[in-house]
Amino acid sequence: MHNPLAEQTSNDTANQSVAQLPQVTETRNPGMALDLDWVARLQANTSAIERRCATLPARRSVKKEHQVAWLLKAVSCIDLTTLSGDDTEMRVGRLCAKARQPVNASVLAQLEMTGLTTGAVCVYHEMIPAAVRALVGTNIPVAAVSTGFPAGLSPLHLRIQEIKESVAAGAREIDIVISRRHVLTGDWQKLYDEMKAMREACGDAHVKAILATGELGSLRNVARASLVCMMAGADFIKTSTGKENVNATLPVTLVMIRAIRDYFERTGYRIGYKPAGGISKAKDAITYLALMKEELGNRWLQPDLFRFGASSLLGDIERQLDHHLTGAYSAGHRNPMG
């Protein structure tokens, strides 16, 4: 399929600055020593950030085949997730089948698209074996939430052990939750030490650090927590567990991805970003993708550096694709999650 996404204009200054960076590496972020001076210098101009984000949806409206290209890109970046107390192996199996074939085959055939899958399947620890079995023969990774998710208040040695057991069970990505109290009290050394220990426990599995941004008190705290987690070796930084009262927002996203850009410009290591919770509409997904493109460039539009933690988003994307092809929105039961 012709991909007009590649033709969309972007922030030339940001892209040029990224393109000209020396010694850029695609290897995994090893982390660095905690630089408290750098952390202390980080500030966040809340009013300016909110003004920038308020203008984005209107400025980045795309239609027709351009919209289709963006939506297919969004599908490839979804972490299809089930995190319910009544999860069963059967439910996880159905979710994995959806991850393998996220959009109706007849729709993809009309769009001349092949090989489309979601970015990952995300489950609780107990459901890892079922997910691994259901994804055999694919390259779709299993991600597991860990470390006392969603509160992160269990003893540290138990959180570390949980990570190790999830990796042993076959999880290739671990979504950990930080201790919010370290951010709220400004104890960056403790946050760094905790994050570093979790990164080490993950071994070869990539680690996404969930900041629970809705509970951190300020955008400045979000920026500083983002940087400290990256210094400690996080592969991704993620907004939310999806269980907080406030989850992913555009202002939080802008702060976090600019922290990612700062870290990249200083170290040459690319860190991924995952907004999670509250993103359920296709138009919102396009806005987030456009912001990533403007601030970080095309490289951050790939699933190894960007994910949506938003399973309900997939249903609305399917409806939009149906509308593009038929002129009518399909009923919800025609696009089941699993």
Give the residue from 225, 262, 222 showing the smallest Cα distance to 246: 222
Closest CA to 79 of 14, 174, 1: 174
Cβ–Cβ < 8 Å for 131, 142:
yes
Closest CA to 309 of 118, 177, 164: 118
CB atoms within 10 A of CB 324: 17
CA 70 to chain centre: 16
The answer to whether the bond into 336 is cis (omega within 30° of 0) is no
C-alpha separations of 94 from 81, 86, 247 in Å? 11, 14, 26
CA-to-CA separations, 177 to 213, 236, 254, 332, in angstroms, rounded:
11, 12, 20, 33
Catalytic: which of 274, 284, 316, 322?
A: 274
- The sign of the torsion formed by the CA atoms of 132, 134, 138, 139 equals negative
Is 190 a residue of the active site?
Answer: no
Catalytic residue among 73, 79, 175, 284: 175
Q: Is 274 a catalytic residue?
A: yes
Two structure tokens written together for 100:
């393998």
Instruction: Return the structure tokens found at 284.
Output: 């919102």
Angstrom distance (rounded) from CA 310 to CA 78: 7
Q: How many CB atoms lie within 10 A of CB 84?
A: 10
Query: Tokens 């691994």 identify what position?
Result: 132
- Per the annotation, the verdict on 238 as an active-site residue is yes
Cα 11–17–19 angle (5° rounding)?
A: 100
- Catalytic-labelled residue, pool 196, 208, 238, 293: 238
Element (DSSP H or E) covering residue 321: helix 312-326
Q: Are 290 and 71 in contact (CB under 8 A)?
A: no
- Known catalytic residues are 175, 238, 274
